[in-house]
Structure 1
Amino acid sequence: MSDAAQAAAEREQEREQLADELRRAVGDLMRAERRLRSRDPGRGDGLSYAQVRALLMLDEQQEATAGQLAKAADLTPASVTAMLDALEQREMIERRRSEEDRRVVVVSLTPAGRELLEVKRTRWRACWRATLADLDARDLAAAADVMRRMARMFDGLASDAAAPPQAPAAQ
């Protein structure tokens, strides 16, 4: 085997090893995310992962219906009703009838809900900054690109469009 062919084979082997490492890292990330979702809401501020997702959606959208929140938090309508009852009891949200259609109940954040989210955001931002502090802009851009590719791949698998993704065009 020529030196050039040997070098190419070694580069390909290294690339495959790094791809395997990435697959393991993505698996680690997914397991950590599942653990985060299942953590006992009795710790810290007492909010579950689904409750925080619902509050974040309300902060972004200003208001939403229970059905929209169920979809955003990946919950059943019955679960969302119980979740909203708990959030309303803690004065994080308020519910009112829609002015356009009195049959529809609209949910919005209260000032207390916004304040709690801001505290959580401050903590999350500090955690992100500390975790990513040693990465430069190029590394962060590459990581974001890889994560988006993984998301598209998972979406493709979920929709049974599991054809292998095409390799990006050489630049």
Structure 2
Amino acid sequence: MGTIVGVRLTDGVALAADKRATGGSTVRSESVEKLFAFDGAEAGAVAADETGAIQTFGRKLDTEVRQRGTEQGSLIRIDPLSRLASELAADTGVEAVVAARDGEGVARMRAIDSAGAELDEKVVAQGTGAQFALGQLDGMDRDESIDGAADALGSIFERIAERDTETGEDCTVWTLPDG
């Protein structure tokens, strides 16, 4: 399953996901994409579960966001993105964190569980390393800008990987600054 996180910083939101896929106690891959960007990188999502479910979730969410953009001609905001992701998470069984701007241009994120429930949080961790990740995220300086998020989250994932065999050290980080 691996680990996904989302954190609200002073000037935006950062999402991160490890790249490891496991099957039982065997590492199957260290290059699985669990992070997806939409609408010209104006919205993003990370997902945790089995690789097939993650890819299905990402592909379907991308299709829905594109279709909505074509029909409405505007960038997707956090509320409709969260609703779409909630429905897809319930269908695929993934845990996810999504991010987009609200109507005022402020970057927001929502945690979505595998049943489709949505939570508006400032710090989120899901997946097999979630408990350890939350402890690490609590120690993170969230007053820093999103410019330092990749390094900070990279260090956090290295520490998570030491404790959780299903989480890889390498992670992908995506940021969305306030607009």
State the TM-score bracket (shorter-chain normalisation).
under 0.3
Structure showing greater Rg: 1
More helix by share: 1
- Give the number of the structure with larger relative contact order, counting CA–CA contacts within 8 Å between residues 6 or more apart: 2
How does the TM-score come out when normalised to structure 2? 0.24
